[in-house]
Structure 1
Amino acid sequence: MPDRAQPRSSPQPGGGPARSPLLSVLAALVALEAVLLLAGVAYLVHGLVVQDAAAPVAAVALAATTAVFAAAVALCARGLLQRATWVRSPVLVWQVLQLAAGWPALSGGSPWLGVLLVVPAVLVLVGLFLPPVSAQLSR
């Protein structure tokens, strides 16, 4: 008869329990957000190169800032995969900022953009506080 006191997850080679599938899904959503930021960088660079930018210095600064945010969000996705304890706060802050940017778009002129921003943010916010994820990020 199997012992029911043992955890349901199988151990990893490093000795700890296996990563929760929910944590992997959250990391994938955060990585998707990083990819969307990179798409925004490509859009900004395209507008700078192909079209006449009214303020090229501002466009370059915005593209560079967006690229830095994309790198930071990608680093957070990697941190989620590694179950780093530091990752919860920056991911939480990013999701709130993303909601603040997406909500007006959802109710305003670009509902498809609002959906791209709001839906992943809500899923990640809810997922961060679910018990399997909290347990793995608290170690």
Structure 2
Amino acid sequence: MKKRELKKGKGKLWLGGMLIGTVTKSKFDNEIEYEEIDDPNGYGKIRVPMGNKIAGSVTFLKRDSELFMHRLRREQLGFEFDAIVTEENLETGDFETVRYIDCTVDKIPLSDFENKKITQVELSVSARAYKVIV
């Protein structure tokens, strides 16, 4: 299973062309989906790749996201958008920008409160494809 993970450093998040703010955590996986079929030679089953699924989550500060979250709650059934995550590698200072294409939100957070806690929003998203932007 091939996985692509962005976990270290700090980054910025753009959703639908709107800068949301500072990302505290971002993780996307590109998982290959397989189907098991009978082996034509009679040796049991073989796995055949049938496509892939890109899914992940992005966590960011709630105060940076009011307009986007308002639109997300208002439209309820969701909408497609592109997510662009720019990540800085703290050891080398290099940047990597990845664009996740045709993202949809799988779960819309309505409320999350804890006393004396910096409120963060975590979105679970699925994407059709991704592209590394240099």
Higher normalized strand content (fraction of residues): 2
Length-normalised TM-score, structure 2:
0.24
TM-score, length-normalised on structure 1?
Answer: 0.23
Q: 1 or 2, which has the higher helix percentage?
A: 1
